[in-house]
Amino acid sequence: MGTAGWIVVAAIVVIVLFVVMLYNGLVAGRNQVEAAWRQIDVQLKRRRDLVPNLVEAVKGYMGHEQDTLQAVIKARSAAVSAESGPREGQIQAEAALSGALGRLFALSESYPDLKANQNVMQLQEELTSTENKIAFSRQHYNDSVMAQNTRVESFPAVLVAGSMGFAKHPYFEATEQDREVPQVKLR
């Protein structure tokens, strides 16, 4: 084999190594996004597990606020149902649960006996802590999604990412409902 043959072989080896490195980088990014999503999922499950206890503790104090309690129960059920569905549906269901819990917390401020109940206070503290962990996990997830989406859309990966099965991931975004200030209406 002459010099031209070795040049062709070297060029092919360089191209193959480049594609392998590109592919491995895309796989690493996809795995980072999935790991970040699993961290959110762990915290969301913790929150879904705490919600029934909070609703039961609050029921006795907020007997005439059944609409708010039913909204929390319905949002939790939707979040549990969405758990096995597409990620976008999970994101929307969890956002609805966050909004319902926010309204419940805002409304609970109007009940002095409820605010003084140790069980309710402990559950609220645990939920607040969990919400903080969810917020941190969402931020980490969105950072991972941004990095992976940048990889998928950047040259030269954009030329081969689609054919290798890599696509953009959805961000965990606040809904319009999340952006609204909860309204507290006393009857």
- Residues 117-156 have pLDDT tens digits of 777 778 788 888 888 898 899 999 999 999 999 999 999 8
Contact in structure between 40 and 172 (CB atoms under 8 Å): yes
What is the signed CA dihedral for 155, 157, 160, 165, rounded to 10 degrees? -140
pLDDT band at 178 (very low <50, low <70, confident <90, very high): low
> Residue 171 pLDDT more than 50?
yes
Q: Considering the chain, what percentage of its residues have pLDDT values greater than 90? A: 27
> Residue 184 pLDDT more than 50?
no
The pLDDT of residue 185 is 46
Say which CATH class 3-179 falls into: mainly alpha
pTM of the model: 0.68
Contact in structure between 76 and 155 (CB atoms under 8 Å): no
Contact in structure between 176 and 92 (CB atoms under 8 Å): no
CA–CA gap between residue 143 and residue 97 (Å, rounded): 23
The pLDDT of residue 102 is 83
3-state helix, strand, coil in the chain (%, to 5): 80, 0, 20
- Residues 13-37 have pLDDT tens digits of 999 999 899 999 999 999 999 999 9
CA–CA gap between residue 106 and residue 186 (Å, rounded): 11
Of residues 147, 164, 132, 152, the one with CA closest to residue 35: 147
- Residues 46-67 have pLDDT tens digits of 888 888 888 777 776 666 577 7
Q: Cα 7 from chain centroid? A: 49
Mean pLDDT computed over every residue of the chain: 83
The H-or-E segment that residue 7 falls in is: helix 3-59
What residue segments make up the domains of the chain, in order of their start? 3-179
